[in-house]
Structure 1
């Protein structure tokens, strides 16, 4: 592997940093809100699944006991 001197490395890093496209404040806010919405919906879904499994297991245990 070829080695580069520190000056070349810093120049290459600066060149790569200029290629970065940073998201706008609006894009960050929208994606953050969407993450919170999806996390909430997922939590609600798994809460219902948990309640349903608990009820089914309880019914099975009372039936066989």
Structure 2
């Protein structure tokens, strides 16, 4: 195990290697997340309607 001074030095060296995303990258990925979440919500809404319609038809025709 390294002593605390070496550890802090290594932490500082690793922290210097971090590259933060630009504002444009953050905005672009945020918009993409919202678009994908909306598409997923629409997809599952349509699947839910299809399953409900199928079950209603199936259970209605059995009675």
TM-score if structure 2 supplies the norm length?
Answer: 0.97
Once superposed, what is the RMSD of the aligned Cα atoms? 0.5
**Equivalences for 1:1-65 in 2 at 5 Å?**
3-65=1-63
Other structure's SS at 1:10 match = helix
TM-score if structure 1 supplies the norm length?
Answer: 0.94
Structure with more of its chain in helix, by fraction: 2
Other structure's SS at 1:4 match = coil
Where does the alignment leave 5 or more consecutive residues of structure 2 unmatched? Answer: none
Moved over 6 A (4+): none
Task: Name the count of aligned residue pairs.
Answer: 63
Where does the alignment leave 5 or more consecutive residues of structure 1 unmatched? Answer: none
